[in-house]
Amino acid sequence: MDAALRIALCQVTSTADPAANLELVRTWTADAAARGARVVVFPEATMAHFGVKLAPLAQPLDGPWASEVAAIAQSHGVLVVAGMFTPDGDRVRNTLLVTGPGEHRGYDKIHLYDAFGFHESATVAGGEQLVTVDVDGVRLGVATCYDVRFPGLFQQLAEAGTQAVAVPASWGAGEGKREQWDLLTRARALDSGNWILACGQADPAAAGVEVNPKAPTGVGYSTVADPFGVPRAQAGAAPELVIADIDPAVADASRRATGALANRKLR
């Protein structure tokens, strides 16, 4: 695996305070970089957890929160992916900040969580554009939480040349939800031939953080699944740093073996 890319999943529990969460990004990025990671992935809603008013917290990509994350990534020479909220009129956008040397952009969550009794689109505007970035010869796509239920997004990313997709999440708890998380992350790996780097919020109960019990604030179990759908690494429920080496050649091998892209008839 000479061409392997070392990635880190930072399974943290965000608080309601963006400044405190920025310190989480600073500490965990330093730890991940010290262990050789080139891509450091944080969960959805790293800037502030769900269950609080998001509009007053939202900042643009050139605002102070994102700019400080960019400085952290730059200082360690890594690419950081972290969930934040950007302004959009009376609503916000659920944005993944993708930042590091030579990169600073955002991905706005396309599929909004109007499911399981939630109505994300009431306060969040959806995005439309795919985002990819190249790191050490590996093309990385990004998707957010509920996006993982939609295979077409991951197959479009594969057709755009990705070998891996980072999936930050703040997965809602409930009966069967962890099992769905496990199933969906592995299925998206297999049906797109991508490494799936699924980084969720830790279970707040395991971290001792008080949250709105009605909000989707995470269950843990961040997972690295290879392009054949095999889990290569997985966290537990509590905060944890997961380090994994991903081989981009496995993506090509999976696609040749399954024909999932080449034989697709419906798009």
CA 45 to chain centre: 10
Q: Which residues are catalytic?
A: 44, 109, 145
Sign for the CA dihedral angle at 75, 5, 239, 175 comes to positive
Q: How far is CA 148 from CA 24, 61, 157, 253, in A?
A: 25, 24, 12, 22
The one-letter amino acid code at 177 reads K
Q: Which residues neighbour 185 within 8 Å (Cβ) at sequence distance 6 or greater?
A: 148, 167, 196, 198, 223, 225
The C-alpha angle 64, 91, 53, rounded to 5 degrees, equals 70
How many CB atoms neighbour CB 125 within 10 A? 18
Q: Are 243 and 34 in contact (CB under 8 A)?
A: no
Half-sphere exposure of 197 (CA within 13 A, CB side): 31
